[in-house]
Amino acid sequence: MDNRHLKVVFAAVILLTSPVWSQAEIHKAIPLWPKGAPGSLGTNDSDIPTITPYLPQPTNASGAAMVICPGGAYVGLAAHEGHDYALFLTQHGISCFVLKYRLGSNGYRHPAMLNDATRAMRWVRANADQYKIDTHRVGIMGSSAGGHLASTVMTHWDAGDKEAADVIEQQNSRPDVGILCYAVITMGKFTSELTREQLLGERSPGKLVEELSNELQVTTSTPPCFLWTVFADKGVPIENTLQFAAALQANNVPFELHLYEKGAHGIGLNDKPPFAHPHQWAGDLLIWLKIRYFLEMKINHHSHMANYVGAAKAAKYLGKQTDS
């Protein structure tokens, strides 16, 4: 192993072990639409999409934020892919906002889920001053079906309606980065049948199948992405991740792809607080987030750079900052 690879390994170890465990400041869930969500089927808890802030200690806060979409095949929401991810990332200074989106199991179909996720992106930016967030460092993260939702936001974002009376709707919904964990991406051959049925119904219209096969929707404006899956995944074929990575490459979108040999679908961090021994992807993600300026407030004034330079240039710049 040469020195360059050793530096990467040591960097992962340092990033995982350096933060002292501290409980995140968890706020109450906040309705995304105080007067009711568009297309709501009722007023039950399942009809009210919410966002729950998880805030790092002020002395550790980087100013970056992450909207987190738990998985669950659009049937349920897996806590270890929402709550646990938020606790892990707040350890490293990222303010997290766990999304409770509407589900197919409660009678909802597309575009309710996408409406909830894009509203969450806008909500975070509209409330950036309150939470001391840099509006140019707001990402989205999702696992399994939550990964499908995150990738849908990444490929179907819009700039907002500057004429809207609602200040939230004026905000841009484009994530600055995306993190996709063993994600469902396609509604085609390699999809999860249950996920597609819960999103689109038993008879999925062909036009929507294509529109929500997000490997077909990548453009040069799709945000940089970290994506990973496991070879042994029996729940969602690895082709979902590989096809999305190929689409990113074809459109010259920066990405980092990890395919691990072992692990089951839904593995998450494979650890619990204080996350002393998470799955390998966690350390790889932290290195990537550091390159993307999501971990350190001290380089906040360069936060825009990550959107415009490649990973290699960013890594070189970080090296210079460390040496100085």
Nearest 5°: the CA angle 302, 306, 307 is 120
For the chain, the structural domain boundaries read 25-323
Assign 15 a pLDDT band (cuts: 50, 70, 90): low
Q: How confident is the model at residue 314 (pLDDT cuts 50, 70, 90)?
A: very low
pLDDT, average across residues 173-186: 98
User: Considering the chain, what is the average pLDDT of its residues?
Assistant: 89
pLDDT in tens, 184-214: 999 999 999 999 999 999 988 889 999 999 9
> 297-306: per-residue pLDDT in tens?
743 333 333 3
CATH superfamily of 25-323: Alpha/Beta hydrolase fold, catalytic domain (3.40.50.1820)
Residue carrying the six token digits 């920066």 = 254
Q: Are 104 and 200 in contact (CB under 8 A)?
A: no
* Stretch 100-129: mean pLDDT: 98
pLDDT grade, residue 7 (50/70/90)?
Answer: very low
pLDDT recorded at residue 16: 57
Residue 296 pLDDT grade (very low, low, confident, very high; cuts 50, 70, 90): confident
Report the SS3 class of residue 257.
Answer: strand
- Predicted TM-score (pTM) of the model is 0.87
**Residue 304 CB contacts under 8 Å (≥ 6 apart), including other chains:** 136
> Which pLDDT value is given to residue 12?
52
Please report the pLDDT score of residue 304 as a whole number. 38
